[in-house]
A and B are shown apart, each in its own frame.
Chain A
Amino acid sequence: MPSSDSPTAEPSPAEAPAQGKGNAAKQPKGKEAAAPAEGSKLSGAELKKQAKAEKAARRAQALLEKGASAPAAAPTPGQQPKVDGQKGPKGQRQHQRGSSTSVEVKNLPVRGAQKTVPVPVAVEPKKEDKTVEFFRHLYKTRTTSIAGASKDVHPAVLALGLQMSNYTICGSCARLVATLQAFKRVIESYTTPPQNSLSRHLTSHVLSPQIEYLSSCRPLSISMGNAIRWLKLEVSKVDVSVPDAEAKKGLCDAIDVFIRERVTFADQVIARSAADKIKDGDVIMTYAKSSIVQRALVKAHEEGKKFRVIIVDSRPLHEGKHLAAALVRIGMDVKYCLINGLSHNIQDVTKVLLGAHAMMSNGRLFSRIGTALVAMEANEADKPVIVLCETIKFTERVALDSIVHNEIAPADELVIPGGPLEQWGDIKKLQLCNPMYDVTPADYIQMIITESGNVPPTSVPVLHRLGNESQG
């Protein structure tokens, strides 16, 4: 592609190298922070950049051609790099590509001579909203680099944000724990400015920018929301008279206790009681990867139970593959299939164990996209569906469908490198949609195993209320 690209870029030599440098400078930065990024994702991003460069070059050429006919050519090449320079630090916006480029085009003629006015008319139809209509309210741009982050954001949080945005840290609980650990470091490095008290200042001036940054990297999970609400409450309860160091220590200890109680111990309890449910000869089906399901399976295996596991997985994250690898490593009998093999395997299954992103107050399960299909098939085949979920994931929110509340991941994650989809952005009226979660109806769920006991889905609001009351 670069070879075909270069002749078009030639007419504007000032612009092409600038773009190239931008690429070169941006990439390693992204990589070092992004840790072990997935190959497919990165190359997708690269291709994107290339496509972008190509497009920009094409536009520049079009401008030049226009300019050649009119004497107003001089200002345009000079302006182009300026625009690119602006774009660089702003960071690469993944799915606002269409609109961001069109903004750039729109700006040009306004600043340039009035003679270039016809250009936007020709280019304007290209601007197209690639968002899916009924998910439009959910689109958010994701920050994928630390460039442009507020200076208030703590380095630990910066790193965490990047890890979240490229799914290095993925899963509701893992993100919750990582966030709290990062916040602990934020609190540790915090000093209350003079004429201010910790309880007044910390939340609004220090924690808020961190939270904002994290949610710009990836929308906060419901458990994170619960934990942050709790943390804010803790901070506000700190007595004004308590010295800074003591208050900070108190908060850090509280965070540790919170993690231990609500996650670590809860996981142990849940894993134990889920492992109890597994009998010799069982065939357990699970979907994608849930750390708590993995724990339960491993525990049952360690107890010497003989059972098989069928892991159902789906594109684009293929999380189940990691679970499969982990289980295979300890010598378990694993069968792996994608969602297309679901209905073939459901007949052999005796129990379905599912992880959760959140439990809604109306008893519905909010979990990785595809979970609802597994639960539906299991229900149809009369197989018990058991959800493993810590009470920290319970929420007072309700959901009837998967559209009102969801998270839309960047559509480019669906592109397979080298496949026909690579240039999908150029095809009019074609949209890719990549939601992250779906909502499983409560009737498909037979039991929820929590650290406070095994309950039916109807008891979710009760447990949630009890949990909150005890919390104070």
Chain B
Amino acid sequence: MPSLQAGYAPNLGVFLKSLKTAPLESSIENLISLLKRRQIRNSRPCAIATAHLLLRVVAKFRWTDIGNLLERIQEVGQRLVEAQPREMVVGNIVRRVLGMIRDEAKEDRTEDASDSTSTSQLGSPGRERSESGSFRTEGGAPTFSPLRFASTDASTLSEASGDDVFGGRSQPTSRPPLLTSHTSYAVLNGVPVQQSMFNLLSATPTPSSTPPHASSPHGKSTISATTLAQRIATTTRDLKAEVISGIEEIIDELDQVDDQIAAYAQEHIHSNEVILTHSSSLSVQKFLLKAAEKRRFTVIVAESYPNDHEATHAAVTGKVSQDLEGDEMSTETFLKPLSAAGITVILMTDATIFAIMSRVNKVILATHAVIANGGLIAAAGARIIAKAAKVHRTPVIVVSGIYKLSPEYPFEFESLIEYGDPGNIIGYGEGGLVEHMEVDNPVYDYVPPDLVDLYITNLGAHAPSYLYRIVADHYKPEDINFHKPELQF
């Protein structure tokens, strides 16, 4: 195993370092084994590792066709997801990258298509590009922009009207010309294009929509054959650069997400509040620290005993425990404990939650993953907290980066729950007990959406019922089941 050869305690930092030098395939294997052994765990490290790995995959992969690239990323993504299906962020990042590549490719095609149709339309793709480009920098993520749809439609419409003049075979709603150059090229070389449902539907009317100035399909292909090779060479290089910068944007987003979330803190916390939080989370800590700059309040921390209590205690006292140091803290700036920021911090056990809930004004939870229905997966115990808050009519706020938002909708929530080491509950020293009884130690809880009042993400605050819309914004429907080929179209 590559990680063993390396000879140091493997974690995220080591992995990222080795990524620069190690061959790609061994890096992939390395990450898979790290995920399997839980040496990289929790959402953020997993997301960062996945994004960096995919960056390498894109940079190393020699591809001639966008379909090849998508296939390759799907294949890598599938292996990663299978390695640790419960780290849902891995799949999320892969989907984000896939969606981003699709967007880039589509832009590219629009450009090609408008190139070949008329010179008068040249202005349109350029403008569209700048618009979409600016949109991306604002949103921090490539999305289906309504603007882009509009401009695409405009170009097809104008082309259709050109068709009208010649053959009258207009299909105002179709977007076929977008694909002409690529499809013809693919057919020419006998390379099958990875086709989604969208592509299939739009590709069928290809012959009817070949540009009018070509007298026959044969004529078209011969013409392109001479120019295409060189054109594709240039476009793929452009595309590659754009895909890489797209992934880098995702990595940047992962770095900044907590600060972006924290920016909303002061809108939600007022003076003299009593805030209950659970376990230890960098996002929540930054959120509260930001609020503490302006206001004084009290934070009650429930320790999340058998699994995360050490991290919680370390976070509360400001001492970094060994395993955390490598994993999460080394690259990040060291966070001062909340108590150092002038907030009164009260550490309590999980069992006390009901007793103190009557004094709590707000509950702020961190998450492991958020599901499209508005529910979330969080450290075990979160569900009881949310329930107790509901009983006491205390609002529950969930702080989460968009990258944790997963489009998967599992129908059986138990499948999302991971069970941890029962040795944390009853040590193996107590052999008599261990042998004769079942010990249960779930690591995660599923919190249904009706127990959550508000989600605060890096894009703002949302009601749980609105999350499906954000999912739709961030992932392409054809990518949702990328890791399950049997469910793909």
List chain A positions with a Cβ less than 8 A from chain B.
132-134, 314-316, 321, 324-325, 328, 334-345, 369-370, 372-373, 376-377, 380, 401-403, 406, 414, 416, 419-421, 423-424, 427-435, 437-440
Is the pair B432, A328 in contact by a Cβ cutoff of 8 Å? yes
Enumerate 22 A-B pairs (CB-CB under 8 Å) in ascending A order. A133-B298, A314-B349, A321-B433, A328-B433, A328-B437, A335-B438, A336-B426, A336-B437, A337-B441, A338-B350, A340-B384, A373-B354, A373-B388, A403-B355, A414-B347, A419-B310, A429-B339, A430-B339, A432-B347, A432-B348, A433-B348, A438-B352
In the complex, per-residue mask of B374-396: 1 if CB is within 8 Å of any chain A CB, else 0: 00000111011001100100000
Q: Cβ of B351 and Cβ of A335 under 8 Å apart?
A: no
What residues make up the interface of B, taking CB atoms closer than 8 Å to A?
Answer: 298, 303-307, 309-310, 313-314, 316-319, 321, 337, 339-340, 342-356, 358-359, 379-381, 383-384, 387-388, 391, 414, 417, 425-426, 430, 432-433, 436-442, 445
The answer, among B309, B317, B350, B445, for a CB contact under 8 Å with A427, is B317
Compute how far the CA of A133 lies from the CA of B358 in the bound complex, rounded to whole angstroms: 14
Closest-by-CB residue of B relative to A314 is B351
Decide: A335 near B348, CB < 8 A? Known: A340-B305, A427-B318: no
Q: Which residues of B contact A401 (CB under 8 A)?
A: 355, 358
A431 & B347 in contact (Cβ 8 Å cutoff): yes
4 A-B pairs besides A324-B433, A335-B438, A401-B355 with CB distance below 8 A are A336-B439, A338-B350, A376-B391, A427-B318
Smallest CB separation, A413 vs chain B (Å): 10
- Contact indicator B305/A376 (Cβ below 8 Å): no
CB contact between A337 and one of B388, B430, B439 (< 8 Å): that residue = B439
CB-CB under 8 A from A369, the residues of chain B are: 349, 351-352, 355
A428 to B383 CA separation, bound complex (whole angstroms):
31
Q: Are A416 and B313 in contact (CB under 8 A)?
A: yes
A423 to B383, CA, bound (A): 31
In contact, A376 and B339 (Cβ under 8 angstroms):
no
- Minimum distance in angstroms from A372 CB to a CB of chain B: 4
- Specify which chain A residues have a CB less than 8 angstroms from the CB of B358 in the assembled complex: 401-403
Please tell me if the beta carbons of A336 and B345 are within 8 angstroms of each other in the complex.
no
Q: Are A372 and B347 in contact (CB under 8 A)?
A: no
Q: Are A341 and B313 in contact (CB under 8 A)?
A: no
Question: Chain A residues with Cβ under 8 A from B306's Cβ?
Answer: 338, 340
CB–CB A321/B426 < 8 A: yes
| Chain B residues in 8 Å Cβ range of A336 | 425-426, 433, 437-440
Using Cβ atoms and an 8 Å threshold, which residues of chain A touch B417? 344
B381 touching A339 by the CB < 8 A rule?
yes
* Alpha-carbon distance A340/B319, docked complex (angstroms): 25
Partner of A431, one of B346, B359, B384: B346
Which A residues are CB-close (under 8 A) to B425?
336-338
How many Å lie between the Cα of A423 and that of B316 in the bound state? Answer: 12
Bound state CA distance, A439 and B391, in angstroms?
A: 14
Query: Is there contact, CB below 8 Å, between A341 and B356?
Result: no
From A402, which residue of chain B is reached at the shortest CB distance? B355
Q: Do the beta carbons of B346 and A406 come within 8 Å of each other?
A: no
The answer to whether A345 touches B440, judged by C-beta atoms less than 8 angstroms apart, is yes
Q: How far is the CB of B248 from chain A (nearest CB, A)?
A: 36
Chain B residue numbers with a CB within 8 Å of A428 are: 339-340
Query: How many Å lie between the Cα of A334 and that of B433 in the bound state?
Result: 10
Residues of A within 8 A of B445 (CB): 340, 343-344
Q: Is the CB of A316 within 8 A of B349?
A: yes
Q: Nearest 3 A-B pairs (CB), nearest first?
A: A370-B351, A402-B355, A340-B380
Measured CB to CB, the closest approach of chain A to B33, in angstroms, equals: 28
CA distance A401 to B351 in the complex (A): 15
How many Å lie between the Cα of A435 and that of B347 in the bound state?
Answer: 12
Are A430 and B316 within 8 A (Cβ)? yes
Q: How far is the CA of A431 from the CA of B346 in the complex (A)?
A: 5
**Complex Cα distance A334/B319, Å?**
38
B265 CB, min distance to chain A CBs, angstroms: 19
Beyond A325-B433, A337-B441, whether A414 also contacts B305 by CB under 8 A is: no
- The smallest C-beta distance from A290 to any residue of chain B, in angstroms, reads 15
- A344-B440 contact given A314-B305, A429-B342, CB 8 Å threshold: yes
A340 cross-chain contacts in B, Cβ below 8 A? 304-307, 350, 379-381, 384, 441-442, 445
Q: Which residue of B lies closest to A411 (CB)?
A: B347
- Are A435 and B352 in contact, with the CB atoms below 8 A? yes
Which residues on A sit within 8 Å (CB–CB) of B353?
373
The reply to whether A403 and B359 form a contact with Cβ atoms under 8 Å apart is yes
Interchain CB contact under 8 A, A429 and B345: yes
CA distance A237 to B476 in the complex (A): 85
B441 contacts A338, CB within 8 Å?
A: yes
Q: Nearest Cβ in chain A — how far from B236, in angstroms? A: 50
Using Cβ atoms and an 8 Å threshold, which residues of chain A touch B310? 416, 419-420
- Which residue of chain B is the closest to A134 with respect to CB atoms? B359
Tell whether A325 pairs with B384 under 8 Å between CB atoms, given A414-B347, A438-B352: no
Closest Cβ of chain B: how far from A298's Cβ, in Å?
Answer: 16
Most buried by B among A133, A341, A403, A438: A341
Indicate if the CB atoms of B356 and A403 lie closer than 8 Å. yes
Q: Which residues of B contact A339 (CB under 8 A)?
A: 305, 350-351, 381, 384
Provide the residues of chain B in CB contact with A133, threshold 8 Å.
298, 344
With A and B bound together, what is the CA distance between A315 and B302 in angstroms?
Answer: 12
Q: Which residues from A are CB-within-8-Å of B432?
A: 325, 328
Given contacts A335-B439, A338-B305, A377-B384, contact A429 B343 (CB under 8 A): yes
In Å, the complex CA distance between A314 and B319 comes to 25
* Contact yes or no, B351 A414, CB < 8 A: no
* Bound CA span A339–B442, Å: 10
Q: How far is the CB of A432 from chain B (nearest CB, A)?
A: 5
